Structure 1
Amino acid sequence: MRFPRFVDAVSRRAELPTEQAATISRAVLQTLAERITATESADLAAQLPDEVGSYLAAPGEGGATGGAVAFLYRVAERAGVDPAVAEVGARAVLATLRETVTVGEFQDLVAQLPKGFDAMVDPIPRPPYDV
């Protein structure tokens, strides 16, 4: 899936104009890269087309603080949109990612995010905990 197709999927899901969906997609991917480890970011990017994966290419240290609300405010700030629009867009981006990467990779991504992110894409299976 090339970036234009990724954006089209986000645009349809979020019912946003294509240009705004592209901006939000970039903001969500860049903000995700700040929340996950560099290894997970590279693993996720490896399953995405270069155009999409490149937004994960320069991750921060991983594990940025704050839950889903802080994440959405960061996306809203980056994309220059209202937090409610950021939430709709983030849900659409996560749903599109879920369809684009393998189930295992998506589970690995979700495992590094706070539990509040589960509500953004239902249902998100969490990997079982080791007993």
Structure 2
Amino acid sequence: MRFPRFIDAVSRRSGLPPEQAATVARAVLQTMAERVSGGPADDLAGHLPDEVDGYLNRDTPGAAAGGSPTGPGEFLRRVGERAGVDDATARIGTGAVFATLREAVTVAEFREMVARLPRAGDGGVAPRPPSYDG
């Protein structure tokens, strides 16, 4: 999947304008890269669609300081901070990015990415991708 199609899908799923969807997508991918433990962001980038892996840059201005996010709330807070959006927009945009990634990579690749994300108190992965397929 090429980058413009990826962003169009995120925009459609989230209801965000394409420019904001791109900003949120970049924030989500960078926060995911930050979350990768024991391996470089390149490990994650190898599973992303063409051009999307270019958004995995830890040296982005405005990036949150400190180590990797420790939970779902912190993950969403960092996405919102990086993208300059409110909590609701960060949550909606993050769900749309995960739903689009689920479509763009193989099941095994998606499971590997999700396995590296923060866990909710109930053991579920959070932020949870939306339950719809469209």
TM-score range, shorter chain: 0.7 to 0.9
Which amino acid in structure 2 is aligned with residue 121 of structure 1? P
Q: What CA distance in whole angstroms lies between the structure 2 residues aligned with 1:73 and 1:88?
A: 13
How many residues are matched?
Answer: 120
Q: 1:73 to 1:25 in 2, by over 3 A?
A: same
Q: What CA distance in whole angstroms lies between the structure 2 residues aligned with 1:100 and 1:42?
A: 17
Q: 1:75 to 1:3 in 2, by over 3 A?
A: same
Q: 1:40 to 1:93 in 2, by over 3 A?
A: farther
With normalisation by structure 2, the TM-score equals: 0.78
Alignment pair present for 1:45 and 2:53 = no
Q: What CA distance in whole angstroms lies between the structure 2 residues aligned with 1:105 and 1:40?
A: 16
* Structure 2 residue aligned with 1:66: 70
Measured on the aligned residues, the alpha-carbon RMSD in Å equals 2.2
Q: Structure 1 stretch 49-58 or stretch 29-38: which is displaced more?
A: 49-58
CA drift of 1:55 comes to 1.9
* Structure 1 residue aligned with 2:88: 84
CA drift of 1:8 comes to 0.3
- Structure 2: state its 5+ residue gaps: 60-66
* Structure 2 residue aligned with 1:120: 128
Q: What CA distance in whole angstroms lies between the structure 2 residues aligned with 1:99 and 1:49?
A: 10
With normalisation by structure 1, the TM-score equals: 0.80
> What do the CA deviations read for 1:44-65 (whole angstroms, capped 9, x no partner)?
3223344210122559xxx714
Q: What CA distance in whole angstroms lies between the structure 1 residues aligned with 2:42 and 2:102?
A: 16
* Structure 2 residue aligned with 1:6: 6
- Tell me which stretches of 4 or more aligned residues in structure 1 moved more than 3 Å: 37-41
Q: What CA distance in whole angstroms lies between the structure 1 residues aligned with 2:126 and 2:76?
A: 14
Is the Cα–Cα contact under 8 Å of residues 25 and 93 in structure 2 kept in the other structure?
yes
Identical amino acids, percent of aligned pairs: 57
Higher helix share: 1
CA drift of 1:112 comes to 1.6
Secondary structure of the corresponding residue to residue 51 of structure 2:
helix
> What do the CA deviations read for 1:35-87 (whole angstroms, capped 9, x no partner)?
0136474343223344210122559xxx7142111011101011010011000
